[in-house]
Amino acid sequence: MSTETAELINYHFFLSIIQTGENMSVFILLNCKTYDEGTGPNAVKLAEACRTVAESSGVEIAIAPQIPDIFRTANAIDIPVYSQHIDGAGPGSKTGHIYVKSIKDAGAVGSLINHSERRLTLADIEAAAAVLKTNKMKSVICTNNVATTAAAAVFAPDYVAIEPPELIGSGIPVSKADPGVVTDSVEAVKKINPNVKVLCGAGISKGEDLKAAIELGAQGVLLASGIVKAKDPTDALYDLVSLI
Amino acid sequence: MSTETAELINYHFFLSIIQTGENMSVFILLNCKTYDEGTGPNAVKLAEACRTVAESSGVEIAIAPQIPDIFRTANAIDIPVYSQHIDGAGPGSKTGHIYVKSIKDAGAVGSLINHSERRLTLADIEAAAAVLKTNKMKSVICTNNVATTAAAAVFAPDYVAIEPPELIGSGIPVSKADPGVVTDSVEAVKKINPNVKVLCGAGISKGEDLKAAIELGAQGVLLASGIVKAKDPTDALYDLVSLI
Amino acid sequence: MSTETAELINYHFFLSIIQTGENMSVFILLNCKTYDEGTGPNAVKLAEACRTVAESSGVEIAIAPQIPDIFRTANAIDIPVYSQHIDGAGPGSKTGHIYVKSIKDAGAVGSLINHSERRLTLADIEAAAAVLKTNKMKSVICTNNVATTAAAAVFAPDYVAIEPPELIGSGIPVSKADPGVVTDSVEAVKKINPNVKVLCGAGISKGEDLKAAIELGAQGVLLASGIVKAKDPTDALYDLVSLI
Amino acid sequence: MSTETAELINYHFFLSIIQTGENMSVFILLNCKTYDEGTGPNAVKLAEACRTVAESSGVEIAIAPQIPDIFRTANAIDIPVYSQHIDGAGPGSKTGHIYVKSIKDAGAVGSLINHSERRLTLADIEAAAAVLKTNKMKSVICTNNVATTAAAAVFAPDYVAIEPPELIGSGIPVSKADPGVVTDSVEAVKKINPNVKVLCGAGISKGEDLKAAIELGAQGVLLASGIVKAKDPTDALYDLVSLI
């Protein structure tokens, strides 16, 4: 899809949103990955930055610290905490697996599933989405292109997060490098299940990136290094929400 | 190896241990797996049982709760807490990976590596053992037969834990079903690196199992369901240490 | 879904098929797995049995020998040969991967993707289906339940093959044990992409199983041990097609 | 280890080899990976180049084509053919796995195990080496550093092939970039099992690279793109063996 076409589609999406008054509450999910700047006590500090900016802006901001940091983060700061990974398996002989009840008990309200750095089989993605639903937790399935985004939507997660792998950590926002992948994903998901919301990931860090993502039809962003490794994450988050 | 030969070897090992006065401090590592009886607050209760029995018996008992439960367990109960899994990767773009600093910050003093329910590549096992050493943490590499036990010993972990997969969760102790795999592992490890200690896993739950493991040359046991799912885990642990 | 409801649905499917005169060419795909009875020269013998029965019955029968046996089988016997696995990756530094051009050059006309014994990530399933399409080859994506079947249909393969893992190799046909999973899969796929055909796997070996599968709306079956390990595979195949 | 030290060690190795008259038959293994230049009929052409140079130089040269190309290559050209991958699993329900009898029937005399592009778990490496031995086939376990090389030697394969991942496909020969990793590997393997030979991989393409590898104590090389993608692979192979 050409950039021009994509922009036109954006425009119409945007119009329709405004006109219908559809609830477009923006969602920001900050992934700490295994950056030292987001490990242990630093995860708590980042969560605090998220809460500060969420409160003053009214935008929903959640954090996905490393799994051993969920308990500490969720118990220290009152914002939604997500796990970076979850296994669909139930209780039993599953040493080292991430069991839904364990992350829920630790304070998580949801989980990423199938991040490109922790990919799962189709069967495991479905199982993970299912156990989150059973436990009334939020699910964010990460995908790498339009087709996998559409397939993930079949599992009726709360969100799919489209992140072209070649843009992750690139600093080049997907909304600029490949706006068509976002608009096409939004369209494809709508056909499969209109209740599933689309997040836009990969290369997002600034206010204009988030704005562009929203204009392309996404309901928010999944981002990491741009905030986690920023000199001042609070400032970086303020910039992120400044244009919406 | 025949059972008779194995028993003879045991006997000589045992004699040599007594005669040399070698430090045979026994080590028990309780793996919570993803059993509900060992999840969240239940992990803390199990850790408390471990501490009670460790204090009254003088035997070193450690616990490996699920990864999201490390922080809560380590901060509540003063016993050694291990992670059930660790990835060797350093800081960076590794969403969902278990990073050594995160588990250390959460309070873990060591980790299982390559449990049969969470197997790793050779390169990842080596990397995991190396990052634990760099961080002055304990390593327990799990293996499935004599050859893989010997190979794991090359990485100079603190412990190798031999667990024939067919006996895991069987209730049949490896010390009874296949004593040769234990004595052969002990011998093979001694040739590679005499500082590496051997744990005996799979089917262990009672005092006689631990005693047999020690007599076969192991320095302790890795066990799970027999204690975690016991009606009274404290009682079960008391029975476990009763014959040493 | 109750068995009664399922049977009712079958009946209506069946009726609609007859009434519309829709092309219901039945497709049988014989998976040799790594059975000795289907390895090397035995794969060629099985392919010969398939051809004999296909020719005399008019039913399309294809074979999926082990990957090293594709060349030998495809060059000896004139029936459609499928690979048991394919990787989506293109040419390059991918030692040990199964590259589409290599299996095509060897004589394969298609491939299984994501068999429950060789599961793939979502991204890899999509990539594998895409490279098969680009190379004008047939794709059969294996799935484990209704939700994953629907998701797989998004990739527009030629076939999805639903095989509840607990029934594989059980000897209990899915059409008897859980007819609802077949009819629900057929319905779900129809909504996603009506060009995708549904195969029914797991526990299929007899004529009545194939007949039941067709009545449930499937267009064929994926089967293995029931034929491969039969005393006389040709006879077993004749029985399989006897009721259609 | 400094380059100077490494060179000194080389020198003494070299001397000892010359002085003892130890059998230093050089072994070259050409990995076709999934390069188009080594796929299908091209694998046969490469095998022909290998045979030509092997016959005129007296150096043992083997080829590892893609798995679907084993049959065609082994039946066309009389040189040793290796598989790029093998699974340790026996016969049975293992769709898509590479079963030892299938590659042996197809004409392979051995296999790579655990190439960095197709890494295996510790248990699977051991199982693969064991089934090759049982079937009187050659095994080449690939490793990424000195420690994993030593561990692999425990399984008594015919060869370990040390390939620092950062040098694979770099064009920078490991013998130049990191000679210490080769000499240390040779020493470590000697301690574990002196019958295991060391191959040197990663970045090898020219005569001087092979010569350097031999001088560092290796008994040959594992190489790929430098020959497979050469304008004239026969010429490139002649250059490779020109200095030994």
Residue A17 pLDDT: 41
Residue range B187-192: mean pLDDT, rounded = 96
What burial class does residue D238 get, using C-beta atoms within 10 Å of its C-beta: 0-12 exposed, 13-18 middle, 19+ buried? middle
Residue A15 pLDDT: 40
Angle at the Cα of A135 from the Cα atoms of A134 and A141, rounded to 5 degrees: 80
Sheet containing B60-64: order of strands: B60-64, B27-31, B220-223, B197-201, B159-162, B138-143, B110-113, B82-83
Q: Which residues make beta-bridge pairs with A142?
A: A161
Q: What is the ipTM of this complex?
A: 0.89
DSSP string, C97-122: ---HHHHHHHT--EEEES-TTS--BH
Is A34's CB within 8 Å of B66's CB? Answer: no
Residue range D58-66: mean pLDDT, rounded = 97
What mean pLDDT value characterizes chain A?
Answer: 90
- Could you tell me if A187 lies within 8 Å of chain C, comparing CB atoms? no
Tens digits of per-residue pLDDT, C225-242?
A: 999 999 999 999 999 999
Q: Name residues 101-140 of chain B within 8 A of D (Cβ).
A: 114, 116, 119-126, 130
d(CA A200, CA A149): 11
Residue in chain A closest to B90 (alpha carbons) equals A34
Q: Which residues, at least 6 apart from B128, have a Cβ–Cβ distance to it below 8 Å?
A: B86, B87, B88, B111, B113, B114, B120, B139
Tens digits of per-residue pLDDT, B202-236?
A: 788 899 999 999 999 999 999 999 999 999 999 99
pTM to 2 decimal places: 0.91
Tens digits of per-residue pLDDT, B37-95?
A: 999 999 999 999 999 999 999 999 999 999 999 999 999 999 999 999 999 988 999 99
On the question of pLDDT at D123 being above 90, the answer is: yes
Task: Decide if B60 is catalytic.
Answer: no
- Could you tell me if C167 lies within 8 Å of chain A, comparing CB atoms? no
Could you give the C-alpha distances from D156 to C6, C66, D126, in angstroms and in order?
A: 57, 28, 9
Q: Which residues, at least 6 apart from D18, have a Cβ–Cβ distance to it below 8 Å?
A: none
d(CA D210, CA D213): 5
Least trusted range by pLDDT, from A115-124, C75-84, C168-177: C168-177
d(CA A8, CA B207): 74
Write phi, then psi, for D37 (nearest 5 degrees): -70, -5
- Catalytic hit among A85, A97, A126, A163: A163
Tens digits of per-residue pLDDT, C52-71?
A: 999 999 999 999 999 999 99
On the question of pLDDT at D140 being above 90, the answer is: yes
d(CA C91, CA B37): 49
What mean pLDDT value characterizes chain B?
Answer: 90
Residue A63 pLDDT: 98
- Could you tell me if C34 lies within 8 Å of chain D, comparing CB atoms? yes
- The domains of chain C, with CATH numbers, are 3-14+27-241 (3.20.20.70)
With the C-alpha atoms ordered B8, B12, B13, B15, is the resulting torsion angle positive or negative? positive
Residue D177 pLDDT: 83
Is C94's CB within 8 Å of D33's CB? Answer: yes
Residue range B14-40: mean pLDDT, rounded = 75
d(CA B225, CA D44): 55
Structure tokens given for D49: 């180049």
Could you give the C-alpha distances from A131 to A87, B32, D81, in angstroms and in order?
A: 9, 20, 48
Residue C177 pLDDT: 83
Residue in chain B closest to D163 (alpha carbons) equals B123
Residue range A49-64: mean pLDDT, rounded = 97
Residue B8 pLDDT: 46
Residues of B with Cβ-Cβ distance to D143 under 8 angstroms: 122-123
Going by the DSSP 8-state scheme, the letter that residue A166 receives in this structure is G
- Catalytic hit among B60, B126, B163, B215: B163
Tens digits of per-residue pLDDT, D199-235?
A: 998 788 899 999 999 999 999 999 999 999 999 999 9
